Amino acid sequence: MLAAMPPEPDAVVPGAAVPDRARSDACPGALRLHTADDGALARVRLPGGLLTDRQALALAGAAETLGDGRLEITSRGNVQLRGLASDCGGELAERLRAAGLLPSDTHERVRNIVASPGPGAGPAEGSADVRAWARALDAALCASPWATGLSGKFLFALDDGRGDVAALDADVTLIAGPDGTALLRLGRAATARPVPAGRAVAAALDAAREFLDAQRAAGLRAWHLRELPDLLPPGPVPLAPPAGTRPPLGALPGGGLHVGLRFGVAAAGQWRALVDAAEGELRLTPWRGAVLPGAPAGRLPALAAAGFRTAAGTAWDGASACTGLPGCAKSRSDVRADAARALDGSTARGAGPQPGAALLPVHWSGCERRCGHPAGRRVDVLATGEGYRVAVTGGPQGRDTAVEVTNELMAAAVAAARRTT
């Protein structure tokens, strides 16, 4: 039997019928390994994407000793290890516990917390410290027996007011306000509940429990708040759409560096270069990169030489791909290798974004499931077995162009489609 890639955070169309969630979600964890075609896969939750250098090195050691030597950052700022032997679970758990990365066996899959990654070593002036929120919420979740009833997909987002992680449409979003106050947004609601100073973490936790209690009382079973948008009162405060602005790649205005990983993957040696540059603390981002708040700008050339993306303005901007071969036997192609060749070729030819004309995002998929594709208008590149099908899709008009091309012509077709307005 073929094994697909592990479940990704799923997209549910607003207003669609509530999906059947009677079965438990199948999200992998650090203790519940997923069987993939390249071996077992472990997903290690990292609340807020926060890692010390010692913890990051422990993950690299586990990847090298127990897995295929690579580390993968997910769209929630967690880390996946692949190619693990099926019987390595005990040793992996011991390594994670020793590094402080497995504080609870019972709650490890519900520690889904993303947080604004910075910039800067501390909180922005006048705003809440979302890293402190992340640590406190993690501890409170792990100390709450009822929280094991949440699905492994239920997501908390802690936004420092910039609107970066608020744009992820998490189940419970805290948006920091002035003087320690916050707004609490439930799912995709257009309004929010005001939260008094000092109550932010408790309010987020209470909302998750309220969700479980209300759906139990109604005889419903959902994984996400957005699946039951009328279940809980959303609050009276109107919300502006979140900015969705991410920290720029390279040196950050408030200090520190932000680098991207190509398709979110780093070999252990590359990862060690990242840890070395970090000088203490790493914050993995939901955009498959890392903010290094203590790293000086002088580290950028070494990080670029190690294969990290250190500047925007290339064809790699807005590019993503599913796992493909060899990790997923459903795939008709090694889509990441094909995509990397196409993107490197386009970058070398200077076919990146031009001033005033951004490129459409692009996503490569090995089969029609299109795991991990971004929301919104994009170029969809689907392996066919004989080449690729390239289409512009996801806009208000749906799919509006499609061409079938050989591998050799795919890069040019993608570059042309990305310039579609």
Q: Which CB atom, from 211 or from 263, has the smaller least distance to ligand SF4?
A: 263
**Minimum Å distance from CB 371 to ligand SF4?**
3
CB of 38 to ligand SF4, least distance (A): 11
Residues that bind ligand SF4 (CB under 6 A): 4-5, 322-324, 328, 330-331, 365-367, 369-371
| Spatial CA neighbour of 363 closest among 351, 374, 354 | 374
CB nearer ligand SF4, residue 63 or residue 321: 321
Minimum CB distance to ligand SF4, residue 1 (Å): 13
Who's near 58: CB < 8 A, 6+ residues apart?
95, 96, 98, 99, 101
To the nearest whole angstrom, how small is the minimum distance from the Cβ of residue 352 to ligand SF4? 25
Residue 117 or 366 having the CB closest to ligand SF4: 366
Q: Which residue is nearest to ligand SF4 (CB)?
A: 366
Q: Which is nearer to ligand SF4, 330 or 418 (CB)?
A: 330
Q: Phi, psi (5° rounding) for residue 258?
A: -130, 125
Tokens of 382: 């689907």
| Per-residue buried b or exposed e for 358-385, using 16+ beta carbons within 10 Å of the residue's own CB | ebbbbbbbbbeebbbbeeeebbbbbbee
Measured from the CB of residue 323, what is the shortest distance to ligand SF4 in angstroms? 4
Q: How far is the CB of 67 from ligand SF4 (least distance, A)?
A: 18
Q: Which is it for the CA torsion 144, 195, 130, 212, positive or negative?
A: positive
Looking at the Cβ atoms of 41 and 63, the one nearer to ligand SF4 is 41
Least separation, in Å, of the C-beta of 252 and ligand SF4?
32
Question: Which residues, including other chains, have CB under 8 Å from residue 120's CB and lie 6 or more apart?
Answer: 252, 254, 255, 256, 293
**Shorter beta-carbon distance to ligand SF4: residue 135 or 370:** 370
Closer to ligand SF4 at the Cβ: 76 or 185? 76
Q: How far is the CB of 393 from ligand SF4 (least distance, A)?
A: 15
Q: Which is nearer to ligand SF4, 90 or 385 (CB)?
A: 385
